[in-house]
Amino acid sequence: MAGLATTRVRSYTRVVQSVPSHPQAPEADADQAIINRVLAGDRDAFSVLINRYSDPLYRHAVGMTGSPDDAADILQNSFIKAFHHLGEVRGRFDAWVFRIVANGCKDWLKNIRRTHLSYEEDDQPSGYETPDEELDRGELRGHLDRALAALPASLREAFVMKHVEGRSYEDMAVMLDTTVGALKMRVHRAREALQKLLEDRAA
């Protein structure tokens, strides 16, 4: 049974949603130039930063909440907050705004206390050839969604960043302002917890 749970955990990135490799962040100087323009009065320039980072931030919010609508709300509120506090940016803008979104996701989890994630099906054609394969995909997604939803927010965050978004531990450490060692431990604990939860559900 443990082997089956391990296989399900390893299959997570194939059944939740198709997520491309995390792109390299633009040079910090390029972001700072845009920030300087906004602070100098060119408010419209902030849209450049929104367009630059919306996609990866939205994907993270969906991975944390399981709700595209709530993820969109969190992203919108986060960018509004970022705009009003833009003068407080120190270091990489992408890491700074990511932490705003991450905190928004954690607040959502704390307030809503979801017991499961409910990903909406996208409009893309299925990558499975038969109805049976599609049914198996949906069942596996459901098991994993419920198990992931039961994880503490910090473990879910680390697992989503590593195994759904495909980030490196070094990038995660910058984004979360912590150490690589701490993140490796969180991911390890998340995988163990998921395996245990899946084993318990299958028992």
Q: What are phi and psi of 152, to 5 degrees?
A: -60, 150
Each residue's pLDDT tens digit, 113-127: 544 444 333 433 434
Q: What is the pLDDT of residue 159?
A: 93
H or E segment to which residue 188 belongs: helix 180-202
Please report the pLDDT score of residue 135 as a whole number.
40
pLDDT in tens, the chain (203 residues): 445 444 544 444 343 444 444 444 456 679 999 999 999 999 999 999 999 999 999 999 999 988 899 999 999 999 999 999 999 998 899 999 999 999 999 999 888 654 444 433 343 343 434 444 444 455 656 667 777 778 899 999 999 999 989 999 999 999 999 999 999 999 999 999 888 887 776 65
Which value, to the nearest 10 degrees, does the dihedral of the CA atoms of residues 122, 123, 124, 126 take? 80
The answer to whether 172 and 158 have CB atoms below 8 angstroms apart is yes
Cβ–Cβ under 8 Å, residues 186 and 154: yes
Q: How far apart are CA 26 and CA 52, in angstroms?
A: 9
* Domain boundaries defined on the chain: 2-9+25-114+135-202
Question: Phi/psi class of residue 163: alpha, beta or left (left: φ > 0; alpha: ψ in -120 to 50)?
Answer: alpha
Three-state DSSP class for residue 155? helix
pLDDT of residue 203: 59
Residue pLDDT, tens place only, 41-69: 999 999 999 999 999 999 999 999 888 99
**Predicted local distance difference test score (pLDDT) of residue 195:** 86
CATH number of the domain located at residue range(s) 2-9+25-114+135-202 in this protein = 1.10.10.10
Quote the pLDDT of residue 28: 65
> Length of the chain, please?
203
At CA 134, angle to CA 16 and CA 163, rounded to 5? 20
